[in-house]
A and B are shown apart, each in its own frame.
Chain A
């Protein structure tokens, strides 16, 4: 085995060892989400922001399916954007929404939520055209999901 091969193998083993266990990461994300709910209910916006920010910035488990990771993280980014919109900070809201969309655009509820949040941020920033585009994208997904939800099996 060459020295280079050994280094690569050790790096792979190290990455797998550092990744949180999937169940633990899911539980941590659920706990952070609930804590953010409680903080928002009691008006502690800073605390809610902190819990959600920690969730998106901490290492996620590589042993969770990529789409499952995306769903959890996009929902947290959506909530962060909502928090910033509520705090009248549309630029920060737009940044969070774009971070969420950067994880991947899918035809699902979570992507549509991020379009809505970014649309709200753009509207607050007087970007009417950008806001309209985002709302349009959200509605396209929403209509497709609504058709799925109401279809007769």
Chain B
């Protein structure tokens, strides 16, 4: 027997390694420990994708459950927001009966009030000495102001 020829022990280990690489049943029982470690190392690079897929498959049910919980919470939050927004929108859209003058929610413009007459302004200019005149003039102007406001907000 030359030095290049394998010994019986070397042949047995080579066969065990081959069986281990093929992942045959019973290989683990007969193969020496170092042959199994070697096989595992050789297989590692090829199996990394497969291992990742298996890990994902194992985690998939948990991930799906988590996704459902998040979706349920999002839907519940949206439902709460809609429930809160509806009365706000309804209230801030009022009054609806006066279409041409109805103020828009969030952008209420001042009502165009009647201009004070020159007679009223003259009474105001003299109010320091004659307050009663201003009070009388204000009464009719006040009525006109309330009429304008009532027309808008009826």
Contacts and interface: CB of A to CB of B under 8 A. Distances in A.
Interface stretch (B33-41, B61-69, B91-99): B91-99
Contacts of A72: 149
B128 A65 contact: no
Nearest to B97: A23
A116 B142 contact: no
A150 interface: yes
Is the interface on chain B under 10, 10 to 19, 20 to 34, or 35 or more residues? 35 or more
A10 B128 contact: no
A19 interface: yes
B84 A23 contact: no
A132 to B, nearest CB: 10
**Interface residues of B, dominant DSSP:** helix
Contact of B142 (A16, A67, A75): A75
Interface string B130-147: 010011001101100110
B108 A63 contact: yes
Given A71-B113, A149-B118, A16 B92 contact: yes
B121 A145 contact: yes
**Interface residues of A, dominant DSSP:** helix
Contacts of A9: 80-81, 84
A1 B81 CA distance: 9
A66 B110 CA distance: 7
A30 interface: yes
Contacts of A145: 116, 121
A68 B95 CA distance: 15
Interface residues of A, number: 46
B71 interface: no
A13 B82 CA distance: 12
B116 A71 contact: no
Given A26-B146, A148-B115, A6 B91 contact: no
Nearest to B73: A1
A1 to B, nearest CB: 4
A149 B146 contact: no
A64 B153 contact: yes
Interface of A: 1, 6, 9-10, 12-13, 16-17, 19, 21-23, 25-27, 29-30, 33, 37, 63-68, 71-72, 75, 82, 85, 109, 112-113, 116, 119-120, 123, 135, 138-139, 142, 145-146, 148-150
11 contacts: A1-B80, A9-B84, A16-B88, A25-B153, A65-B109, A71-B145, A113-B134, A113-B138, A119-B128, A145-B116, A149-B117
Given A12-B84, A109-B141, 9 more contacts: A9-B80, A13-B87, A17-B87, A26-B146, A65-B111, A67-B110, A68-B110, A82-B131, A109-B124
Which 6 residue pairs across A and B have the least CB separation, nearest first?
A67-B110, A65-B108, A22-B153, A1-B77, A30-B146, A23-B153
